[in-house]
């Protein structure tokens, strides 16, 4: 499996997200990530 595989592009970020060292900023980023992952269907054969 190469790095260009579609599942790798979905599961692993293409860039890092930088947030301030502040608990509220970290919480917002965690919520954003949770929302994105909630829509991910790992049983989808297209992955």
Tell me the pTM: 0.59
- Residue 21 counted as domain residue: yes
**Domain enclosing residue 15, as ranges:** 6-38
Whether 12 is in a domain gets the answer yes
Give how many domains the chain has, as a whole number. Answer: 1
Residue 24: per-residue pLDDT? 96
Average pLDDT, the chain: 81
- pLDDT score of 25: 95
**Comparison of pLDDT for 20 and 45, the residue scoring more:** 20
The Cα 40–Cα 17 span in angstroms is 19
Task: Round to whole Å and give the CA distance between 24 and 27.
Answer: 5
Phi, psi of 43 (to 5 degrees): -90, 0
* 44 in any annotated domain: no
């Amino acid at each position: 499996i190469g790095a260009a595989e579609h599942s790798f592009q979905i599961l692993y970020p293409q860039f890092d997200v930088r947030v301030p060292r502040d608990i509220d900023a970290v919480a917002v980023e965690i919520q954003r990530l949770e929302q994105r992952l909630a829509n991910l269907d790992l049983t989808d054969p297209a992955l």
